[in-house]
Amino acid sequence: MQSRKKSTVAAWHGRNSKKKPTKKSIDQDLGAVFDKHVKHEFVDRDVEATMRTMVKEPYVHNVANLKGGRGYKGVYDYYKNHFVGKMPADTKVTRISRTVGKNQVVDELILSFTHDIEIKSMLPGIRPTGRFVELPHIVVMKFKGKKIAHEHIYWDQGSLLAQVGMLDPNDVPVIGIEQARELRALKAGINNS
């Protein structure tokens, strides 16, 4: 009788207890929010949908040029006026790697595009040059629950300026498109070994 009672209690407890999330499920959840956010920015070009992936008072900080926004209004205005739907039509995001922590996702990626419009978020005031750009980026997204609290976005502004013809790599120690090409080659080599 006692063993039957014990198994009934164990079965009831198992059915009614919350399942503890695994590291894999956390990685998938945060990674899925990151991917949804980027899709809303670059594919859907939908500021409102992008903002729904974020906390009420987020911030976005582009480290290379100090562009971005703070608080809902600041981020919304930045996305609406400088970023979402304001990138060249051929913009492509290629992920190189992803690291997921308990409340943070870090993507290493390459952003490529033809500089055929002014890009206020990266090259404010620079007229289109028609040059093709491949630029490595690091994007750090911090989460509160399943919402993005902030983004820190890193790229080499010197490389970007060299690629659009604003800096001469012969005059200053900068590397242009070769940064992205070497990164792609290294990734291909790692995946093929």
Q: How do residues 56-92 score in pLDDT, each as one tens digit?
A: 999 999 999 999 999 999 999 999 999 999 999 999 9
- 169-176 own/partner pairs: CB under 8 Å, 24+ apart: none
Domain ranges for the chain: 22-192
Q: Provide the 3-class DSSP secondary structure of residue 89.
A: coil
Residue 27 phi, psi (nearest 5): -55, -45
pTM of the model: 0.80
Residue 15 reports pLDDT greater than 50 = no
Looking at residue 5, its pLDDT comes to 44
Residue 11 reports pLDDT greater than 50 = no
Asked if 105 and 29 count as a contact pair (C-beta separation under 8 A), the reply is no
User: What would the pLDDT profile of 105-148 be if each residue is shown by its tens digit?
Assistant: 999 999 999 999 999 999 999 999 999 999 999 999 999 999 99
* Average pLDDT score over residue span 41-54: 97
pLDDT-based confidence at residue 22 (cuts at 50, 70, 90): low
What is the sign, positive or negative, of the torsion defined by CA atoms of 119, 122, 128, 130?
negative
Topology (CATH level 3) of domain 22-192: Nuclear Transport Factor 2; Chain: A, (3.10.450)
Distance between CA atoms of 111 and 94, rounded to whole angstroms? 7
* Average pLDDT score over residue span 38-56: 97
Instruction: Please provide the average confidence, as pLDDT, over all residues in the chain.
Output: 88
Looking at residue 187, its pLDDT comes to 85
Looking at residue 108, its pLDDT comes to 97
